[in-house]
Amino acid sequence: MKVLIVSQYFWPETFRINDLANELHNKGFEIEVLTGIPNYPSGNYYKGYSFFSHTRDIYNGIKIHRVPIVSRGKGKGFRLSLNYLSFVFYASLFVLFSRKKYDITFTFAVSPITQALPALLHKKLYKSTSIIWIQDLWPESITAAGKIKNPYILRQLLRMVQFIYRYADKILIQSEAFETSVLEKNCVKEKIYYLPYWAEDLFLDNSLIENGKNSTILPSGFKIMFAGNIGEAQDFESIIKAAEITKDKHEIKWIIIGDGRKKIWAESEVKRRNLQSTVHFLGRSPIEDMPSFFKQSDIMLITLKNEPIFTLTIPSKVQSYMAFGKPILAMMNGIGSQIVDEAQCGYTVSAGDYADLANKAMIAFDETKENLLIKGNNAKKYYFKNFSKEILLEKLINILTT
């Protein structure tokens, strides 16, 4: 079976679709990928790439077709819109003029949802089956992120999303809480399937971890570690305010690993509040380094702003943290927080409640290592019961083949 994965983001960018493509390829599917020139999250083309370069790549035996896209730049306004629209334009040209036929187009629908349009064009031209795996709800997610507020533009985006949902053959959702929103946008229930993330294998095999790796760049003390995008949605204002409350407990260290458009602001805010000895920014590291960082943490941090859309979302780091067997400190509302509570694997506070976040951080600091270990083990047990790759991959293959 020939499958074209349509994703604006793909290797060497770090997204879960990379692992999924590998797994389907290993299961015997003939996988090819339609993607853009890598430039996420920095906003600049990766070394060795440019607007018209690397139109073909190979990733673990998988053919990659790259189309030109305008780089994200600082990820704001007109430049970001050009980034989104240029992928749609050039990916659609690829579909039109390559004349390559596939049985299935599989769209990895993180933002922007517009990347599903070339896949629907392929369906119209070649009668392929169109499957979309929804990671972000549109237009809710861009409203919550503050990227677009114009009512007219939002209405047009809503109509586009309704069009995409109507003409897709199957809609996969990463959170069961997404269903109501999808149904409200002209999608029938029979087309909806729940398929959450799983964690990459490297978070499960601790034997791959090089002991002591990266230890020299980590401060000593009780390490509360955040790993991922430093953006508007992650509410770094509240994280920094919580760190300011805990600063007198000198052993508590807030470790931030990642990059994003709020990083410069967050670093300057930490400096302004004189928190450099409490909050430590380590920058972006390859995913292969994450287990060695996780191993040296005491508790992992997940945060999302107080927005209705985020109550429906399971952040992908939930699965990574759980698979590794780490206790979790979560500042968010909705399903993500419910999972942490249900698994009995950490501490939860309401989105935006930085005072309670600081309080829970200090409670975790005072906790015994044995109790933290129990919470970490609870996380791992919950992961295997609810997010096992083997179970979810079998479900996905059934969706693709029936």
pLDDT tens readout for residues 226-241:
999 998 889 999 999 9
SS (H, E, C) 312-335: CCCCHHHHHHHHHCCCEEEECCCH
Burial of 363 (0-12, 13-18, 19+ CB in 10 A): exposed
Average pLDDT over residues 297-306: 96
Average pLDDT over residues 321-349: 97
Give the integer Cα–Cα distance in Å for 103 and 196. Answer: 24
What pLDDT is attached to residue 208? Answer: 59
Residue 287 carries which side chain, given as an amino acid letter?
Answer: I
Beta carbons within 10 angstroms of residue 304's beta carbon: 23
Task: State the first-to-last Cα distance of the chain, in angstroms, to the nearest integer.
Answer: 12
What pLDDT is attached to residue 205? Answer: 75
* Highest CATH level, class, for 202-386: alpha beta
My answer on whether omega of the bond before 196 falls inside 30° of 0, hence cis, is: no
Handedness of CA 46, 283, 147, 79 (dihedral sign): negative
How large a percentage of the chain has pLDDT more than 90?
81
| Domain positions in the chain | 2-198+388-401, 202-386
146 falls in which pLDDT band (50, 70, 90)?
Answer: low
What pLDDT is attached to residue 260? Answer: 87
Which residue did the predictor score with more confidence, 148 or 187?
187
Q: What is the pLDDT of residues 108-142, one digit of tens each?
A: 999 999 999 999 999 999 999 999 999 999 988 77
Give the integer Cα–Cα distance in Å for 145 and 48. Answer: 31
What pLDDT is attached to residue 211? Answer: 56
Can you list the positions of beta strands (E) in 185-237? 192-194, 222-227
Give the integer Cα–Cα distance in Å for 202 and 218. Answer: 21
Tokens of 93: 């040209």
Q: Which residue has the tokens 């964690």?
A: 199
- Measured at the alpha carbon of residue 392, what is the angle toward residues 389 and 397, in degrees to the nearest 5? 115
Domains 2-198+388-401 and 202-386 share a fold: yes
Give the integer Cα–Cα distance in Å for 84 and 39. Answer: 12
How large a percentage of the chain has pLDDT more than 70?
96
Assigned CATH topology for domain 2-198+388-401 = Rossmann fold (3.40.50)
77 falls in which pLDDT band (50, 70, 90)?
Answer: confident
- Measured at the alpha carbon of residue 380, what is the angle toward residues 280 and 322, in degrees to the nearest 5? 35
Give the integer Cα–Cα distance in Å for 172 and 135. Answer: 9
Residue 192 carries which side chain, given as an amino acid letter?
Answer: I
Which residue did the predictor score with more confidence, 158 or 142?
158
What pLDDT is attached to residue 261? Answer: 84
- What are the beta bridge partners of residue 281? 256
CB 106 within 8 A of CB 122: no
What pLDDT is attached to residue 180? Answer: 93
Average pLDDT over residues 144-165: 83
Average pLDDT over residues 359-375: 97
Mean pLDDT of the chain: 93
Query: Could you tell me the CA-to-CA distances from 364 to 23, 336, 345 in Å, in that order?
Result: 37, 19, 12
CB 182 within 8 A of CB 134: yes
What pLDDT is attached to residue 53? Answer: 80
3-state helix, strand, coil in the chain (%, to 5): 45, 20, 35
Q: 13: phi > 0 → left, psi -120 to 50 → alpha, else beta; which?
A: beta
Residue 399 carries which side chain, given as an amino acid letter?
Answer: I
Give the integer Cα–Cα distance in Å for 204 and 192. Answer: 29
What pLDDT is attached to residue 23? Answer: 95
Query: Could you tell me the CA-to-CA distances from 52 to 65, 67, 85 in Å, in that order?
Result: 12, 8, 16
190 falls in which pLDDT band (50, 70, 90)?
Answer: very high
Predicted confidence (pLDDT) at residue 159 exceeds the cutoff of 70 = yes
37 φ, ψ (degrees, to nearest 5): -75, 125
Which residue did the predictor score with more confidence, 242 or 14?
242
Q: Considering only CA atoms, which of 227, 203, 216 is closest in space to residue 283?
A: 227
